[in-house]
Structure 1
């Protein structure tokens, strides 16, 4: 039985000796601290969303449409009385939480992805590694516990296959295909900084280390600045795949025996199409509001996707989780696990691995507490009876 909520006692006991937490205890507090302390380009990259950022705001506001209806006198309030463990896509997790795939973590901290891998391994959580990482697949695989590989399917199937093969060899337990990013959305915060890190050679470590990608280059990128510029231009021509369709999952199934999920779906028909094509799971997500401004909030899309898929595949959720109660609501609406993004990224920028660990422990303790105080002994029995709709 897990007792993530013991983090609360740890803090209060430390207070008896005059200790206070070094970092804020809320997602909003981490964001504000990051705004003040991180380099402007790094903060803009993490905080920014598409256009007027209406969808990013809607993702968080959508949770206000639900209220938890706690049940009392069920013997679930004692730490250790609850079981947060879950199995998703064949991966056993200590809690139904994975770190969302976030690229270019070198903007926040050197070896950022490796530090996230170490923190999630310690806590028994899952990590989803972005194709756009600053550390290679192999470096992260050597440090990680249970992790999945997120594939931005490039405009070259053989290169995509190479990424997947490398991930499986490095120990990934699932492949996550992101569907909503054939190209980057319109992101004013990055535009105001005139900052696209990929053009500086950041976030393309998996390309630069790939033998098929390197075979496309006349000169190894390490040899000169001109060679690196040519490698970056080659990357520009390969990133994103506007031709990708559900039928392409058949190719992926030929490349790997790992479970496959498709991330970035909001419409139930799209979810049904990818499950029909062989996906083992879908991840309801709008990329944290970073792609289509004015798109439906991810939480508002979740119930219809769950209903449309039924028990044919797992449904996970991403976009807007900021508190333990948010995670509880998403699970009650049918998600089997949630992917958690920006707050731990701010933690990484503020305090490295300790910052990631802190942000994740805050979410887990909050979730553990909310679960028990709402009357539930495990995550597996959560359903809509826990919720009251207020809209």
Structure 2
């Protein structure tokens, strides 16, 4: 029987994956406080339904940076999809296209950027880390533009990869079949070298990520590409205001799925101040902890324009390839439509903070 709920895929995926790979996928940084908070914060927010409203048809279609989406849902950037299924990014991008969702490819994808683009039937962005080797970054940007990617999502919360204890315990190292094929092999070599008690991913970031970049460096990138630039990893009003001031084209409110600084707020809790600071001046997206269509509705009600989904898509991929990933996205869309009907909001324009009750907060536990 096909899983009925998105969280059902978590256990199914775990049974398909080696222990170290499952740990890499599902783990977070530090004591994993933020990892847990991302989900629990959504469940603490009640909904305020309105009744006697015509909800025979609930419209979920929207646009984002000029591209059409069947619903305000997308696939968050995640590296090395071939770790989880032989179809890799081809499977997930096909799933996104079939679901009418945005697909954000990671610069550390395990499939060639042009091949991903050729398999895509929907909007496609490329995520970037800022490497010490700026030439390598520019080469990727040029290839993305040539292949038809619609925007760049620059991750800004990762001057280095945080300590992730699941990966340290397993000595997580990338296997040969899951290489970052779009980056020169010499730049990725450390990520394939095993060393007991360490994470190859963390060691690679210390070696290759550039921790010196500042807001001033954004102009350097903007001068070298016409692609829209979205910043991923904004959690505060102060940084949202700086993003607007520096002329970026969008913001992704993200705590890296709880995989970077442990102890930062759940993204749904950080979202209101970012939305308010931006004041509608540019699109705001959010990721982290989304497991149901009601979660999507809550983020949209706070003010997000689109919600990105990470781990659940890879759970679906691990369990059933393209079909599993597509089912995760389709389930979220169907649940969103149902939640809109049952809260009496027939269009996305009807979703505002009046949909949300007062959160029933209990302390997050370390």
Aligned to 2:167: 190
**Shift in Å, 1:35:** 2.2
**Partner Cα distance (1:318, 1:247) in 2:** 26
Whole-Å separation in 2 of the counterparts to 1:264 and 1:369: 30
Q: Does 1:381 align with 2:357?
A: no
- Counterpart position of 1:251: 220
Partner of 2:235: 266
Q: Distance in 2 between matches of 1:374 and 1:315?
A: 23
Partners of 1:178 and 1:86 in 2: how far apart?
A: 24
Structure 1: segments with no counterpart, 5+ residues: 1-19, 222-227
The count of residues paired between Structure 1 and Structure 2 equals: 351
The separation in 2 between residues aligned to 1:97 and 1:121, in whole angstroms, is: 11
CA distance, structure 2, for counterparts of residue 258 and residue 308 of structure 1: 24
SS class of match (1:207): coil
1:147/1:362 Cα in 2 relative to 1: closer, same or farther (>3 Å)? Answer: same
- Residue 281 of structure 1 contacts residue 313 of structure 1 at CA under 8 Å; is this kept in 2? yes
Asked if structure 2 preserves the Cα contact closer than 8 Å seen for 1:38 and 1:350, the reply is no
Q: Aligned to 2:349, what secondary structure does the other structure show?
A: coil
Structure 2 counterpart SS, 1:261 = strand
Query: Paired residue for 1:341?
Result: 310
Q: Corresponding residue for 1:51? A: 30
* 1:185-218 residue CA offsets vs partner (Å, 9 max, x unmatched): 11111122111317x573421113xxxx77x99x
Match of 1:110 among 86, 89, 110: 86
Cα 1:238–1:258 change in 2 (3 A) is farther
Which one of the candidate residues 62, 67, 71 is aligned to 1:91?
A: 67
Q: Deviations over 1:53-93 (max 9, x none)?
A: 110111111113321111112111x3xx1211111122211
Q: Does 1:40 align with 2:19?
A: yes
Partner of 2:108: 132
In the aligned structure 2, how far is the partner of 1:238 from the partner of 1:173? 30
The change in CA–CA distance for 1:68 and 1:352 in structure 2 (over 3 A counts) is same
Residue aligned with 1:87, SS: strand
Q: Is the Cα–Cα contact under 8 Å of residues 299 and 330 in structure 1 kept in the other structure? A: yes
Alignment match of 1:61 (pick from 40, 47, 50): 40
**Is it true that 1:323 corresponds to 2:281 in the alignment?**
no
Spell out, residue by residue over 1:30-50, the C-alpha distance to the aligned partner (whole angstroms, 9 max, x if none). Answer: 112222332212211110111
How far 1:254 sits from its partner (Å)?
A: 1.4
Kept in 2, the 8 Å contact 1:348–1:354? The answer is yes
User: What's the secondary structure of 1:283's corresponding residue?
Assistant: strand
**1:149 Cα deviation (Å)?**
0.6
Superposition RMSD on alpha carbons, in Å? 2.3
2:159 matched to 1:159? Answer: no
Does the 8 A contact of 1:103 with 1:203 survive in 2? no
Bigger-Rg structure (1/2) = 1
For 1:236 and 1:101, locate their aligned partners in 2 and report how far apart those are by CA, in whole Å.
17
1:152 and 1:380 mapped to 2: Cα distance?
34
Q: Residue deviations 1:126-153, cap 9 Å, x none? A: 1000011101111111111211110112
The whole-number CA distance in structure 2 between the counterparts of 1:293 and 1:378 is 36
Among 122, 144, 167, the residue aligned to 2:98: 122
Choose the corresponding residue for 1:369, options 326, 338, 342. 338
- Would the alpha carbon gap of residues 187 and 124 (structure 1) be closer, same or farther in structure 2, given more than 3 Å must change? same
Q: Secondary structure at the match of 1:205?
A: coil
Cα distance per residue 1:215-256 (max 9 Å; x no partner): x99xxx9xxxxxx98xx9997676312012122221221122
Normalising by structure 1, what TM-score?
A: 0.85
Equivalent residue, structure 2, for 1:308:
277
